[in-house]
Structure 1
């Protein structure tokens, strides 16, 4: 039974995120410099353009880079920076093929602790510390992937009842709360910068 995911706020795209570990990873990778729903709709758009209803890491990894960039650039584009993100998606898929035989779920399937899982996520191309922690919290809160110490490893993103990130979205209402939190964080960062005279 796939979990009910509401990140794309679009039924078909969310259904794919719920049943495809690779789609969830790619959505997280795309989640930068664009609205979250746009990012998490991306995997579904890619799957449709590749002519299927699922994603295959080996297929994406082996794709001609120019042709894959065109898949991403086709209107409506999958991302604000489709060419750059096409490269990142392919590099991620190539890593999954090399390290996990193309099986995205293998990253977390046998992870025994939150720290171990966080280390695996941080090793993924395109996943820095913050993105890895958010994805760890997303796995724990929405996908039921809860190795020992996962909340601690995810830091503030793992907190119960928080509205900080993609991990906390269960529908339009929580999406609005996460968005408000992000705006507050931006304002605070601007204010701190101004106070420093920077």
Structure 2
């Protein structure tokens, strides 16, 4: 895996995401309740604070939990909720060590069907159905992991040029389209809530 991503909107952080499967997974894990660029620059910030140029699942899995939480909380914080996210990142890395010998890419390498890949992603700590589908779409659209039926397994996020998620962001123009889509969804949800309906 060695591609150019544009999710952090910072060259060094995006370079790490494009070459490190674990960094990509951690960025996706962090992508909640904060702006996308903040989330996906997180893996680079963590690597810098660990004094390395990559993330290692074994190192993070066995890191002292309080020290790791403090590492994420150091300003500028890696996330709005650094303590809880530090715990989730360690749980993810512990799972990867236990099930994939610490190799994040093994989650998707050699998988034959999109349904199997979706199941594997949903099994990861911190990855619910939606997050799993978005990451599956990112794998298929930008990271070269395309098992049979991957678009269908990714649901609406797998549709070509759907601009629904990070899977479609390749630069400023597509970022603006994804932002616009998310604003539309929020507005629709708000309108439905005020009228007493569910979207």
Q: State the TM-score, normalized to the length of structure 2.
A: 0.98
Identify the residue that residue 115 of structure 1 maps to in structure 2: 115
Cα gap change, 1:60 to 1:171, in 2 (>3 Å)? same
Q: Deviations over 1:141-189 (max 9, x none)?
A: 0101100000000000000011100000000111111011001000000
Aligned residue runs from structure 1 range 95-134, under 5 A: 95-134=95-134
Identify the residue that residue 185 of structure 1 maps to in structure 2: 185
Aligned residue runs from structure 1 range 74-153, under 5 A: 74-153=74-153
Unaligned runs of 5+ in 1: none
Please state how far the C-alpha of 1:110 moved relative to its aligned partner.
1.3
Unaligned runs of 5+ in 2: none
Identify the residue that residue 38 of structure 1 maps to in structure 2: 38
Q: Deviations over 1:78-130 (max 9, x none)?
A: 00000110000000000000000000000000110000000000000000000
Q: Deviations over 1:27-80 (max 9, x none)?
A: 000000000000000000000000011000000000000000011000000000
User: Could you tell me how far apart the structure 2 residues matched to 1:2 and 1:106 are?
Assistant: 15
C-alpha RMSD of matched pairs (Å): 1.0
Identify the residue that residue 68 of structure 1 maps to in structure 2: 68
Identify the residue that residue 166 of structure 1 maps to in structure 2: 166
Please state how far the C-alpha of 1:197 moved relative to its aligned partner.
7.1
The ranges of structure 1 where at least 4 consecutive aligned residues each deviate by more than 2 angstroms after the TM superposition are none
Q: How many residues align?
A: 198
User: Could you tell me how far apart the structure 2 residues matched to 1:197 and 1:7 are?
Assistant: 34
User: Could you tell me how far apart the structure 2 residues matched to 1:23 and 1:47 are?
Assistant: 9
